[in-house]
Amino acid sequence: MSDNPSTFHGEPGAASGYGWNDTAELHKCADGGGLFHRFKTIRRGTLAELVDFVMDLPEEKQVDYAIQKGGDHRLTVGEIRALFRRSDFPGNAAG
């Protein structure tokens, strides 16, 4: 489920947060055929769960993974790391 407000009954307001609870899939990127060659789903969860999972991996292994967010956007390691550093990331002591 998205963090975006419903348009049912026309509620006002913008989305709150980044959509940390949006459905996402973790993919392992195989070497040799480009970034998304044999792009296979290996785990499903919320965006926050998968970002946390990737960031718990050793730094040299993080580059082997990408996250497909809500079917519309692929997050590479640079984007994953940037999301993890956000002050509103769930579990972030600063947020």
- What is the reported pLDDT for 90? 93
DSSP assignment letter at 35: T
Q: Which stretches of 29-72 are assigned E, i.e. beta strand?
A: 40-46, 65-69
Across the chain, which has 95 residues, the per-10-residue mean pLDDT values are 49 62 88 56 93 96 91 88 95 59
50 neighbors 60 (Cβ within 8 angstroms) = no
Q: Which stretches of the chain are assigned E, i.e. beta strand?
A: 23-28, 40-46, 65-69, 73-75
DSSP assignment letter at 29: P
18 neighbors 4 (Cβ within 8 angstroms) = no
27 neighbors 37 (Cβ within 8 angstroms) = no
pTM score: 0.72
- What is the reported pLDDT for 95? 44
Domain ranges of the chain: 24-85
